[in-house]
Structure 1
Amino acid sequence: MSVDPEDVQRAKREIQSIVQQIAELSRTDASIEQYYDEFLNKVVQALAAAGGAVWSLSPTGLQLTYQINLRNTGLVENPIGQEQHGRLLQRSLTSEEGLLVAPHSGSAMGTDDGDEHAAANPTDFLLVMVPVHNDQGPQGIVEVFQRPGARPATQRGYLRFLQQTCDLAGEFLRGRRLRHLAEKQSLWEQLESFTRSAHETLDVREAAYTIANEGRRLIGCDRVSVAIQRGSKCIVEAVSGQDTFDKRSNVVSLLNRVARAVTKTAEDVWYTGDTSDLAPQVERTLDAYVDESHTKSMAILPLFRPERDVQEGQPNEKKRRDVIGALIVEQMVDTTPSEGYTQRVDVVRTHSATALANALEHNSLFLMPVWKTLGKATSLFRGQTKWKTLGITALVLGVIAGAVFYKTDFNLEGDGSLRPTTLQGVYARADGEISKVLVEYNEEVSADQPLVVMSSLDLDKEMATLQGKLDEIIAEISQARGAGRSGSRQDSDNVELASKLNNLRIQKKSIEGQIDKVMEQINRLQINSPIAGRVITGKSQIEQLDNRPIGRGQMLLEVADLTGDWYLEVLMPETRMRHIADAAREAKNEDKKLEVTFYLATQPNELLHGHVDFIETTAEARGEEGNTVLMRVNFDEGELTRLREILHGADPKVGTEAIAKVHCGEKSIGYVYLHDAIDFFVKSSFKLW
């Protein structure tokens, strides 16, 4: 039977393509299981075999790694056949080129086919076996279950093909081993870096941040947190990837509770989604944290203070180990741990416990921050920096001495405003409505000059009523007088008429009295200036008075004599009154007045002088200034003349802002500039007591 050459070439191309695919697969970093899965399927496909198997060498012997149709060979139900097949695999492992074993025969290597325990092929298939080698020797066997009946040359072709593909599998194992060695070397370098960094500092916070950040790199997880035991609480001190974090956030607060619950039990917690086997207090806190943070898996591992070695002869009593904190390892996305994950976590945990224990013990020494500072300070007095340090120290001491012993004027500053001595408010003397304002802002007025005219509908109505009654009584009186002049009336009628006239005259007099009172009230609706001066009420305020209802006693305008004397009204913060009271007492004992220097806010270069005339005894809250005490500062005629010269001959304006400095004697220059801070510190210290 002839074979079509084109079919032969097509088969060769398919086999070469499969070999090329296996070669490409061998250059990947696939896992052993994934590699042998694809490898064996391609080999079986290329050889058109019934099945195959891959056996890997382990410390306990050959183990089945992957198989295709192994059950069809009948080995599963044949214990003796399994033993024979196992011996055949062992013999194939030591062969150089592999074996071809015919169905139901020995290995064709001089064995006795009659021995049921000898190496043999108990199956109905032709077994093609080739060992897989790397640079460390045989690592396993690839076995193909081929259908019998092929010619010897074809069978040798099967063996050569399998040898070629097993060489590629050996290259894969060799490359995998080299990558493993490189990863192992990198892991050792990372471990060395982590160990060095973790033990490099004795500061608790720095050690915690180093463990969190370097530990995350070594473990290969998403986040590592370090919690420190503080009394009965376990507080998160560091989170990987975050220099600072909000310790009051919900996530951190819940993580604190988780760490506290786990450290109380002193048992490791590995969470992968199921909390049913955890202690109730741990389960509650962990569920709350996972709901908030959406963590997929995490490990909360208590950190224990390293135990001292038990000396020979001492009893080794079991006791509770001292918990110093917790290491928290989290996976936010993938719950499948990588290879060596648990071992790396244990390494980080061990070194973290030692580093934190050393840092905590170091910082627990009495006055350790002071000793550290003194220790660092001594280095400044060695070598070339000694003279620089001495010079700077002398300079600082000189500045401090000058601040303490050099005296200068102690002046306390307060905000003030100019006020005329003669100033009167204009008040409404009755209830009513303003009809007209007769003056304008800054208009000069004389004493008793009308300023405001008011009206009252009630008074007008009452006046009209009384006037009507008066007119009626006058008419009745006129009528009675006319009747009395007629001569036809008797004496009794005259007496009655005289009595009526008398009553009418009494009623008239009463109504006239009421009219006078109402008229007096109407006259009070006209408001006159109490003094001669100028109207200082603002223009906008005056305009708002028109047709406005006013109550009795309400202030309408202000009139001030701007040509007379002036004084300065100062609002001094209550916190400074202690110094002013002391200075005022000393000035009184020396029969002097407390001196004040002030300047206008618009003319800071022109200083004026005065003295304190009056100090209120109570403080009041006044806007942004807080509690202030009102002080009155008077100044003489000469200073008033200078003030008008500063204002180019004009009178000052009421309320002109000024800055006043009250002279309180002399104090050290340091206290003069820092008295507010010193007083605040003293006040705060008393509160703490």
Structure 2
Amino acid sequence: MLEPTASAGPHEVTWRQIEGLVDAVQALIETGVEEPRFYATLLEHAVRAGAAAGGAVWAADTDTFPTLCASGPSETPWSAGGESAHRHARFLQQVRASGQAQTAPPGAADAQGPVNASAFLLLACPVALEGRVIRIVEIAARPGSSPEAARTYLEVLATLCALAADFHRRARLKECQQRETQWSRFEQFCEQLQGRLDLRSVACAVANEARRLVGCDRVSVAAPRHGTLRVQAVSGLDAFDPRSAPIRQLEQLVQRAAVLGEPLFYGVAGQSAPAELETTIDHYVDQSHVRALVVLPLAETDQDGPVRTAPVGAVVLESFAAGPGQLADRTTLASLARQTRLALARAARYERIPAVRVWERLGRWRSASGWSRLALWSLPAAACLAALIFVPAEFRVTCRGQLKPQRESRIFAPRDGRVEQLHADHGETVAAGQVLATIQSSDLDFERTRLLGEIQTTTEQLEALRTSRLGAKPLTAQQRDEVARQTAEEERLKKLVASLQAQKQILDSESEALQVRSPIAGQVLTWNLAESLRQRPVRRGQQLMTVADTGGPWVLEIEVPDQDAGEVLDARRELGPDLPVTFLLATEPSRVYQGRVQRVAQICEPDDRQQLSVTAVVSVDAAAITQRRAGAGVVARIECGRRPLGYVWLHDLIQAVRAWLFV
């Protein structure tokens, strides 16, 4: 069970195996495999990784816990039946109820009796989706496994179940995307039907749009004509021969299917055609060479519910490929039939209106002869157009931003480490140079300890060398050479001690930097520092907190949309750099405040919504703002002078048209 080999450390081997296993399952998820194959492969990996006897995957969304896939000898609980299976089901119920991974050693029992009558150690982990357990992965570990190996195996199993939950989330997302696409197509289908009234146009719209909706190769629409159903439209064809053999065979099939009043399926998995229509279907298939066929009879219903005997039409869906596409999707077919039935019934009622064609032509002629009304409406339209062009109005650029103190300093971590102690919290007033936090760096402590050890060792070597030289009397040439060597070694050790002392001073300065100090006097703005920082690891350059001078000047930092930045820059050149600004505070929307543009950035940057904008700073009268809150949202309007009324109202549209014409 994930036991290490002798050639490598146990943690290295175990984590290498786990990473390989997780990567394999993640790669399987990326392929979009079906659920049975996914769980079979996941179970195979899990059993092989732990050298287990076998495993099983259970569907936990029902009380019967059906098996999705299983492996292992006959002694496993899922291979046994009778009372053993009933006991094992109680163990699965416990896992589902707790929502946590559980183990059941041999002979384990609950209040009702034993739950594991096998000789295996059972490890079960739930797969949860949106807070509900939908699957349970269970492994039968071999007897004799160590508790540490069992815990490791259970953690691996929990990781695999988390990946399985991700698999289900992806499958549900894919299903929602497919459903959204299908509903978009269905909406287009309904729009096409609503724009037509006569029977021929409705039938053509149904034939062409239903083909895209269902994804089949051909759609035909039949409607009553002289007491029988006749084909009115075929997708992809502007005209067809109503006397051709395939059309006649199709009309005969549609008429007989309409008598039954139920949808007819041929060549669709899980569906069978009525025996009394087999001969008619065979004749039509021989003529058309289709591989799959669906006939949807359409009949109006009374208000009380019973179906009328006379149908309003029928829709025939055909596929020439081996796969029938969505012909087996009963929900799509039911929606298609319902909307088509309503459209054909409306078209039939429309065509029963006496002299309907005459009334149509009369309506078109009446709409076309409205010259007097056109002249009457031209005068006010011209007046409105002149007002839009020649009447000036105040042009304002609307922006969003924040209210903040002008002096603001962000405090960053000087080194990797752990926040040992906090000396300030949200809302506290601090002085310049005051310690805000103490960071403890294990790397720096280790380096300092190592350096002190080297200094001590080198100093002892130097003292020993000096001591040995005190009583030395060089008489021979060899002794004089030894004295010279010791002198050189002493100089080297002195330089080494000086270098180590310099390194110690650098470490001392870095240790001092771990006392994080405030560069300015002000107030701590960051919320909940104790929970977010205390005893937590930090990285070098990570922002720890923000200190601002709330008693000094305040400014607005607003984001001017990229498309309006040119208007602001032009207005600054024409009217002066300090353009007037009016703004509302989110904390006090009932009052309007005034300000002046102080400076505008020279570059565009993406804002929080990833839209390009230009940052502008607006000076305000802090004393006039009673509800000062750092970071409070504001809606500001920059006064950019006077422009034509039409441009003021429609400048967004004008800019969009200009961009469209340029592209």
Q: Which TM-score applies when normalising by structure 2? A: 0.51
- Quote the residue 2:165 is aligned against: 170
1:248-647 equivalent positions in 2, closer than 5 A: 248-272=243-267, 278=274, 280=276, 282-304=277-299, 306-310=300-304, 320-335=308-323, 338=326, 341-383=329-371
Structure 1 residues without counterparts, runs of 5 or longer: 311-315, 389-689
Structure 1's 380 and 297: CA in aligned 2 closer, same or farther, altered over 3 A?
same
- Quote the residue 1:182 is aligned against: 177
In the alignment, the residues of structure 2 paired with residue 250 and residue 34 of structure 1 have an alpha-carbon distance, to the nearest angstrom, of 47
Please tell me the residue identity of whatever aligns with 1:329.
L
Equivalent of 1:132, from 107, 127, 138?
127
Please tell me the residue identity of whatever aligns with 1:308.
D
- Quote the residue 2:556 is aligned against: none
Equivalent of 1:35, from 15, 34, 38?
38
**How far apart are residue 13 of structure 1 and its match?**
4.1
- Quote the residue 1:624 is aligned against: none
In the alignment, the residues of structure 2 paired with residue 4 and residue 154 of structure 1 have an alpha-carbon distance, to the nearest angstrom, of 16
1:75–1:123: 8 Å Cα contact kept in structure 2?
no
Map Cα deviations across residues 43-67 of structure 1 (whole Å, 9 max, x no partner): 2222222211111232556332221
In the alignment, the residues of structure 1 paired with residue 201 and residue 353 of structure 2 have an alpha-carbon distance, to the nearest angstrom, of 18
In the alignment, the residues of structure 2 paired with residue 283 and residue 359 of structure 1 have an alpha-carbon distance, to the nearest angstrom, of 33
In the alignment, the residues of structure 2 paired with residue 206 and residue 127 of structure 1 have an alpha-carbon distance, to the nearest angstrom, of 66
Structure 1's 59 and 351: CA in aligned 2 closer, same or farther, altered over 3 A?
farther
2:77–2:88: 8 Å Cα contact kept in structure 1?
no
1:95–1:131: 8 Å Cα contact kept in structure 2?
no
- Quote the residue 1:148 is aligned against: 143
Equivalent of 2:29, from 22, 26, 31?
26
2:53–2:141: 8 Å Cα contact kept in structure 1?
yes
In the alignment, the residues of structure 1 paired with residue 160 and residue 313 of structure 2 have an alpha-carbon distance, to the nearest angstrom, of 55
In the alignment, the residues of structure 2 paired with residue 56 and residue 91 of structure 1 have an alpha-carbon distance, to the nearest angstrom, of 14
**How far apart are residue 187 of structure 1 and its match?**
2.6
In the alignment, the residues of structure 2 paired with residue 70 and residue 258 of structure 1 have an alpha-carbon distance, to the nearest angstrom, of 55
Equivalent of 2:54, from 51, 56, 73?
51
Please tell me the residue identity of whatever aligns with 2:258.
T
Please tell me the residue identity of whatever aligns with 2:137.
V
In the alignment, the residues of structure 1 paired with residue 332 and residue 219 of structure 2 have an alpha-carbon distance, to the nearest angstrom, of 13
Structure 1's 29 and 276: CA in aligned 2 closer, same or farther, altered over 3 A?
closer
1:52–1:70: 8 Å Cα contact kept in structure 2?
no
In the alignment, the residues of structure 2 paired with residue 296 and residue 68 of structure 1 have an alpha-carbon distance, to the nearest angstrom, of 39
In the alignment, the residues of structure 2 paired with residue 220 and residue 271 of structure 1 have an alpha-carbon distance, to the nearest angstrom, of 16
- Quote the residue 2:226 is aligned against: 231
- Quote the residue 1:243 is aligned against: 238
Secondary structure class of the residue paired with 1:221 = coil
Structure 1's 383 and 43: CA in aligned 2 closer, same or farther, altered over 3 A?
farther
In the alignment, the residues of structure 2 paired with residue 154 and residue 361 of structure 1 have an alpha-carbon distance, to the nearest angstrom, of 77
- Quote the residue 2:425 is aligned against: none
- Quote the residue 1:536 is aligned against: none
- Quote the residue 2:199 is aligned against: 204
In the alignment, the residues of structure 2 paired with residue 340 and residue 136 of structure 1 have an alpha-carbon distance, to the nearest angstrom, of 32
Structure 1's 78 and 261: CA in aligned 2 closer, same or farther, altered over 3 A?
closer
Secondary structure class of the residue paired with 1:243 = coil
In the alignment, the residues of structure 2 paired with residue 367 and residue 339 of structure 1 have an alpha-carbon distance, to the nearest angstrom, of 40
Equivalent of 2:68, from 65, 68, 73?
65
- Quote the residue 1:500 is aligned against: none
Map Cα deviations across residues 157-178 of structure 1 (whole Å, 9 max, x no partner): 1111111111111111111122
In the alignment, the residues of structure 1 paired with residue 49 and residue 361 of structure 2 have an alpha-carbon distance, to the nearest angstrom, of 78
**How far apart are residue 88 of structure 1 and its match?**
0.9
In the alignment, the residues of structure 2 paired with residue 139 and residue 200 of structure 1 have an alpha-carbon distance, to the nearest angstrom, of 45
Structure whose CA Rg is larger: 1
Secondary structure class of the residue paired with 2:60 = strand
2:103–2:123: 8 Å Cα contact kept in structure 1?
yes
In the alignment, the residues of structure 2 paired with residue 251 and residue 378 of structure 1 have an alpha-carbon distance, to the nearest angstrom, of 44
Please tell me the residue identity of whatever aligns with 1:67.
A
Map Cα deviations across residues 152-206 of structure 1 (whole Å, 9 max, x no partner): 1111111111111111111111111222222222333222222232232112111
Structure 1's 169 and 265: CA in aligned 2 closer, same or farther, altered over 3 A?
closer
In the alignment, the residues of structure 2 paired with residue 138 and residue 66 of structure 1 have an alpha-carbon distance, to the nearest angstrom, of 17
In the alignment, the residues of structure 1 paired with residue 7 and residue 15 of structure 2 have an alpha-carbon distance, to the nearest angstrom, of 11
2:214–2:326: 8 Å Cα contact kept in structure 1?
no
2:214–2:325: 8 Å Cα contact kept in structure 1?
no
Paired residue total: 372
Secondary structure class of the residue paired with 2:231 = strand
2:77–2:85: 8 Å Cα contact kept in structure 1?
no
In the alignment, the residues of structure 2 paired with residue 154 and residue 338 of structure 1 have an alpha-carbon distance, to the nearest angstrom, of 49
Structure 1's 244 and 41: CA in aligned 2 closer, same or farther, altered over 3 A?
farther
In the alignment, the residues of structure 1 paired with residue 369 and residue 268 of structure 2 have an alpha-carbon distance, to the nearest angstrom, of 60
Structure 1's 142 and 213: CA in aligned 2 closer, same or farther, altered over 3 A?
same
Please tell me the residue identity of whatever aligns with 1:48.
A
Q: What value does the CA root-mean-square deviation take over the aligned residues? A: 3.1
1:272–1:335: 8 Å Cα contact kept in structure 2?
no
- Quote the residue 1:595 is aligned against: none
In the alignment, the residues of structure 2 paired with residue 236 and residue 222 of structure 1 have an alpha-carbon distance, to the nearest angstrom, of 17
- Quote the residue 1:589 is aligned against: none
Please tell me the residue identity of whatever aligns with 1:278.
P
Structure 1's 163 and 273: CA in aligned 2 closer, same or farther, altered over 3 A?
closer
**How far apart are residue 373 of structure 1 and its match?**
0.6
1:258–1:286: 8 Å Cα contact kept in structure 2?
yes
- Quote the residue 2:614 is aligned against: none
Secondary structure class of the residue paired with 2:65 = strand
Please tell me the residue identity of whatever aligns with 2:274.
L
Secondary structure class of the residue paired with 1:286 = helix
Structure 1's 31 and 75: CA in aligned 2 closer, same or farther, altered over 3 A?
closer
1:223–1:240: 8 Å Cα contact kept in structure 2?
yes
**How far apart are residue 89 of structure 1 and its match?**
0.9
Structure 1's 84 and 264: CA in aligned 2 closer, same or farther, altered over 3 A?
closer
1:269–1:299: 8 Å Cα contact kept in structure 2?
yes
In the alignment, the residues of structure 1 paired with residue 118 and residue 159 of structure 2 have an alpha-carbon distance, to the nearest angstrom, of 25
2:127–2:136: 8 Å Cα contact kept in structure 1?
yes
Structure 1's 56 and 266: CA in aligned 2 closer, same or farther, altered over 3 A?
closer
Secondary structure class of the residue paired with 2:87 = helix
- Quote the residue 1:495 is aligned against: none
In the alignment, the residues of structure 1 paired with residue 359 and residue 95 of structure 2 have an alpha-carbon distance, to the nearest angstrom, of 74
2:268–2:327: 8 Å Cα contact kept in structure 1?
no
Structure 1's 137 and 41: CA in aligned 2 closer, same or farther, altered over 3 A?
same
**How far apart are residue 384 of structure 1 and its match?**
5.1
Please tell me the residue identity of whatever aligns with 2:291.
K
